[in-house]
Amino acid sequence: MTLEYDPFSPEFQANPYPSYARLRAEDPVHYRQINGEDVWLLTRYDDCVSVLRDPRCSAEKFPAKVLEEIAGDPESPLGQLARISLGMMLVKDPPDHTRLRTLVNKAFTPRRVESLRPRLERVVEDLLDAVRDRGEMDVIADLAAPLPLIAIAELLGLPPEDQGRLKVWSDRFVTFIDGTIRDAGLEQAALAVAELKSYLGGIIEERRRKPRQDLISGLVTAHEAGDRLSEDELYSTVALLLAAGHETTTNLIGNGLLALLCNPDQLNKLRSEPELIRTTIEELLRYDSPVQVTSRIPREDMEICGRTIPAGQEINTSIGAANRDPKVFHEPDRLDITRSDNRHLSFGLGVHFCLGASLARLEGRIAIQTVVRRMRRLELDTDKLEWRPGIVLRGLRALPVQF
């Protein structure tokens, strides 16, 4: 069966959910080629859950042989990009994934994350104070992008004055992770990673001499302790936390506020019942997930819904589609901030469940609740939205509002 599914088209980028609905109903195990690769897209909730929990399915989406072809000279920018990619826990299976995640988990304990609340509240207030007299702002540039970058940079122990270039490097690395760049874009990502690695080298050396109470110091200590963290894994972990630690939360805040603006009854409900902020964030995550797709590679042939997926061919589990499966969610296309039974997959599932989920939730709650409280006449200030291109991540380039 052939259905029209083009994840790169402007129409799909603007609103993928009608395409997801048709695929879910008519071709739930959908095959197509993307950039010359065989890819299978799953759009039903139960199928996505099954694959994400299946130990036969590997997270190693960047095979070593492919990255070795990209690398060439291991010390070149492309070589460094390949090495950092290979070291990311995001694309590792147990036991390596378990080892790396255990080292980083301590930075994201509930107590540690909750201790950040006063600082995050102050940052949000300061960011909104800066635009207060203008009566307008770009939610992405003025709030959704700087807040999570400040949070993850402070957790890592990176200087505030470096956040501008950290953002540039991180954005270019994210486009590589998203799999949407080729040729010149790949070169830009490689150069960004090389510059980031050079920058981190100085920070790491400083932490070796004078450790602090930050995550980089903890990772350096683990590296010095022996084989728990290789040098490549050290750089890979910092780069991944920097990129993933802010990009997805930016999208949560931007997509979430857009959803509320497009559903004024729900916006007004939250304004009158601020105690609903917890279920609101979960519903916003479900309704327009910051992460739309996560992939796995089956180690052996697998049968799903009567179709055989050969070993080694990529399976894309569509989180965006699963989160709107009518067999799991009542009236899935309706935003309902009081929804209580909300088993969305926006933070993934299984051993790769998002490490920073609790921090993202906290940042989202603080940012959205503060905007709703302070900006009583908030409204959208454009009739043309532009989405950042990507298969994995979904987020706006800008979100102009008046208040």
Whether residue 382 is predicted with pLDDT greater than 80 in this model: the reply is yes
Q: What is the pLDDT of residue 63?
A: 57
Whether residue 68 is predicted with pLDDT greater than 70 in this model: the reply is no
Q: What is the pLDDT of residue 227?
A: 59
Over the stretch 149-162, which tens digit does the pLDDT of each residue have? 999 999 999 999 99
DSSP track, 17-85: HHHHHHHHHH-SEEEEEETTEEEEEE-SHHHHHHHHH-TTEE---S-HHHHHHHHSSTTSHHHHHHHHH
**For 127-131, 228-232, 263-267, which range has the lowest pLDDT when averaged over its residues?**
228-232
* pLDDT tier for residue 3 given thresholds of 50, 70 and 90: low
Q: What is the pLDDT of residue 184?
A: 56
Whether residue 296 is predicted with pLDDT greater than 70 in this model: the reply is yes
Q: What is the pLDDT of residue 71?
A: 56
Q: What is the pLDDT of residue 299?
A: 96
What's the average model confidence in pLDDT over 33-37?
Answer: 79
Q: Which CATH class is domain 10-402?
A: mainly alpha
Extract the tokens encoding 385.
């939205």
* pLDDT tier for residue 389 given thresholds of 50, 70 and 90: confident
What's the average model confidence in pLDDT over 288-312?
Answer: 96
* Neighbouring residues of 356: CB distance < 8 A, sequence distance ≥ 6: 108, 152, 241, 244, 245, 249
What value, to the nearest 5°, has the Cα angle with vertex 189 and ends 183 and 192?
Answer: 145
Q: What is the pLDDT of residue 24?
A: 96
Give CA–CA dist 102/350, Å, rounded: 15
Over the stretch 318-331, which tens digit does the pLDDT of each residue have? 999 999 999 999 99
Whether residue 22 is predicted with pLDDT greater than 80 in this model: the reply is yes
Greater confidence (185 vs 180) lies with 185
DSSP track, 215-247: HHHHHHHHHHTSTTS-HHHHHHHHHHHHHHHHH
For tokens 């084989």, name the residue.
227
**How many of the other CB atoms lie within 10 Å of CB of 68?**
13
Over the stretch 209-223, which tens digit does the pLDDT of each residue have? 999 989 999 888 877
Give CA–CA dist 120/133, Å, rounded: 22
Residue 103 CA neighbour count, 13 Å, CB half: 28
**For 80-89, 241-250, 340-349, which range has the lowest pLDDT when averaged over its residues?**
80-89
> Hey, where are the domains in the chain?
10-402
DSSP track, 87-145: T-GGG--TTHHHHHHHHHHGGG-HHHHHTTHHHHHHHHHHHHHHHGGGTEEEHIIIIIT
Single pTM value for the model: 0.93
Whether residue 182 is predicted with pLDDT greater than 60 in this model: the reply is no
Give CA–CA dist 284/207, Å, rounded: 39
